[in-house]
Structure 1
């Protein structure tokens, strides 16, 4: 009787194992990523799934929102932030594994206008008058108090001496993609977004590029969360690869790590 029980128990374990693995694979890997990464990361995730068979679920929003959601217990395996500050926040809150953290990508910020705007070829330098350029219209960017693109924009405008006059004209959006949409729809006459965002939106045009030394370096940083599943290590390794590099660079990002094969 005892022998029969042991056989039944062993069979139950064997049967349960593939079900457990299948369940884990079905659940997939959850990636919380900055909104500006959507187009490129969707392609990277598709390439990763094609190579490994592992499902990737991506959630996109402002880095500030995602960092706070993870802190509140949201089930993410990977966090991709558009700036160092919000990854520092996650590190301080002990919601990411610090030894997995790496600076992955670089970007730039640009001034955009609707594609049919008469505004064109703006020289962005010390003393340029953004307020006058906007006229009676609004300028869209991310919330300058929390959204990375907005923080970069404000820092640049302060250094160039254009912030005080233009501040009241800003329409603060919840993410860079929301700001991009305001300009694309003509609801804002100008916007400050990442160069990579402008590249994927046909309804806007770049009218000027902010000097790299006018704001802190734009660095996208990535890490596994403290609640990450076993697949997080393989996913982070894939982000290092030449295949991932080619995709990110196609969308205009600068690849900051030495690619693996």
Structure 2
């Protein structure tokens, strides 16, 4: 069922638009042709490797919120819109738990496809364009440990934040309409973005542990972020599954 739902999702306009945001790195060489500060990448000479560039692009895309708004609307269409239209009667002989988990897994698959595409585009842009710039190191992996840790948290932390946003929206969309669901999910995104800057929130969101590497060390910070992600995911999945089982069509 997960594969079937995933194939159907990949055909929707929301998914296509969401995946189009993976082309974001292409704007870098285009913007460089104009006398503008938009999309101007800067760095010390030989400091930027391919993996760090990918992590930065993934993080910036998340911070712009636009791709996430499209993703949230996709989640709403999977849960709220189908429930409102009563289109799930075809699955009445399958347990709701399996349906819910299949939908969440399919949405996670869409996020995975997005990450893979943006990685491929970022790699292509790096080796076709950025490698000729003075700030590019020309290597795939970071040169030093600190840069490697930063790239790892940019990538893993952003993926954690995106998946949790999907779960938050999947729970909210079963109880609220489109507007309230998008508001709740966007508030989560904004909180996750400012969390690394606030001492009171750094310990409560997985992606915020990037600000604690200097205090805790890389391995403990990454471990704590992973455990926190698993706990939040389990709670949201249980909450969403309960809401789905009690939802009336």
- Structure 1 length-normalised TM: 0.23
Which structure: larger Rg? 1
- Structure 2 length-normalised TM: 0.23
Determine which structure has the larger strand proportion and give its number.
1
